[in-house]
């Protein structure tokens, strides 16, 4: 991270300012700072983007070249400049970007895999999730160490939004290389319905047992709990692998899988 690009200040409880220590940007606890807007253990010290630097270099991820896109971390800074909100903390600005992208579906959001370089459409349903702001602050959805899926907005469309100009949907949303035309896909699905056999009761129970077993063993899922974060945790882990499954869908299958457990299961 280039900490010179956007000077940041640490505002103390008495209003005094100080530069954030450089080593903080290299530590894991910086995520806490971004999420809550203050350093861990110092709730009276807010983190703000300085208004004192109107001209700056564009923030870009290292090793990723994407001239047609604006990195999410740059995007929420530009939005803050437009709306005069640079006195807000970083987490607030990132959440505001998510809100704008929900309200402006014409602005394309996409990702680039740092390992493969593949460009994919970002599932817009996740713009409403609690993780959206965190991902925008980090600029990516983390995968394996040293790898990640970087988040961008379409440059032309977002710049038009900032300039209060009409947003033209010129850039088609990226599709996987093996995607088929819509009519061809329907044709293939129609053939599958006539040729595929649905799961039998035994096979279905086996799949449900696998689901509930992995949820309990891997996520400490409690089938008897009225509320559980497991569905969201599984959904987030799947998204890191480029697989989009909603919390509600996972919750539905977990509930169904829990029904086949013996009554005395802990």
Residue-averaged pLDDT of the chain: 75
- Give alpha helix (H) positions in 4-115: 30-36, 72-83, 90-103
Does position 178 have pLDDT exceeding 50, yes or no?
A: no
The whole-number average pLDDT for the span 10-31 is 59
| Beta bridge pairs of residue 152 | 71, 110
39 vs 205: which has the higher pLDDT: 205
For residue range 54-80, list pLDDT tens digits in order. Answer: 566 788 888 888 999 999 999 999 999
Question: According to the model, what pLDDT value does residue 154 have?
Answer: 96
Q: Tokens 């350093």, residue?
A: 39
Q: DSSP string of 173-240?
A: PP--TT---HHHHHHHHHHHHHHPPPPPHHHHHHHHHHHHHHHHHHH---TT-SS-SHHHHHHHHHHH
Percent of residues, the chain, with pLDDT higher than 70: 62
Handedness of CA 89, 92, 96, 102 (dihedral sign): positive
194 vs 74: which has the higher pLDDT: 74
Least confident residue range of 34-38, 71-75, 139-143, 153-157: 34-38
The whole-number average pLDDT for the span 30-47 is 62
Among 157, 133, 19, residue whose Cα is nearest residue 76: 133
Q: Domain locations in the chain?
A: 50-162, 182-258
48 vs 215: which has the higher pLDDT: 215
Question: According to the model, what pLDDT value does residue 242 have?
Answer: 62
For residue range 151-175, list pLDDT tens digits in order. Answer: 999 999 999 999 999 887 654 444 4
Question: According to the model, what pLDDT value does residue 60 have?
Answer: 87
pTM (two decimals): 0.49
Does position 30 have pLDDT exceeding 70, yes or no?
A: no
User: How far is it, in rounded angstroms, from Cα 98 to Cα 103?
Assistant: 9
How would you write 121-147 as a 3-class SS string? ECCHHHHHCCHHHHHHHHCEEECCCCC
For residue range 84-113, list pLDDT tens digits in order. Answer: 888 888 888 999 999 999 999 999 999 998
Highest mean pLDDT among 57-61, 152-156, 210-214, 218-222: 152-156
Q: How many residues does the chain have?
A: 266
The whole-number average pLDDT for the span 198-218 is 80
Q: Tokens 């209003």, residue?
A: 15
Whether residue 72 contacts residue 151, with contact meaning beta carbons closer than 8 Å, is answered with: yes
* Alpha-carbon distances, residue 82 vs 79, 129, 159, 161, 233 (angstroms): 5, 24, 11, 10, 34
The whole-number average pLDDT for the span 182-197 is 47
Does position 1 have pLDDT exceeding 50, yes or no?
A: no
Number of H helices, E strands in the chain: 9, 8
Question: According to the model, what pLDDT value does residue 40 have?
Answer: 60
């Amino acid at each position: 991270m280039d900490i010179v690009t956007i000077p940041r200040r640490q505002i103390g409880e008495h209003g005094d300012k100080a530069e954030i220590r450089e080593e903080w940007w290299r530590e894991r606890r910086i995520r806490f700072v971004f999420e809550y807007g203050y350093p861990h253990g110092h709730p009276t010290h807010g983190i703000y983007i300085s208004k004192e630097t109107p001209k700056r270099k564009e923030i870009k991820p290292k090793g990723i070249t994407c001239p047609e896109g604006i990195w999410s971390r740059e995007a929420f800074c530009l939005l803050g400049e437009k709306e005069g909100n640079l006195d807000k903390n970083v987490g607030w600005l990132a959440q505001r970007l998510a809100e704008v992208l929900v309200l402006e579906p014409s602005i394309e959001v996409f990702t680039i895999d740092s390992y493969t370089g593949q460009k994919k459409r970002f599932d817009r349903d996740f713009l409403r999730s609690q993780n959206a702001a965190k991902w925008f602050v980090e600029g990516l959805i983390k995968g394996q160490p040293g790898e990640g899926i970087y988040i961008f907005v379409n440059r032309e469309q977002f710049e038009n939004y900032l300039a209060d100009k009409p947003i033209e949907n010129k850039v088609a949303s990226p599709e996987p290389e093996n995607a088929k035309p819509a009519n061809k896909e329907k044709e293939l699905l129609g053939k599958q319905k006539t040729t595929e056999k649905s799961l039998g009761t035994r096979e279905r129970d086996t799949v449900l047992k696998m689901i509930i077993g992995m949820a309990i063993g891997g996520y400490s899922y409690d089938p008897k709990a009225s509320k559980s974060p497991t569905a969201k945790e599984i959904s987030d882990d799947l998204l890191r692998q480029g697989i989009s499954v909603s919390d509600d869908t996972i919750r539905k299958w977990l509930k169904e899988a829990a029904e086949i457990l013996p009554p005395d299961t802990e």
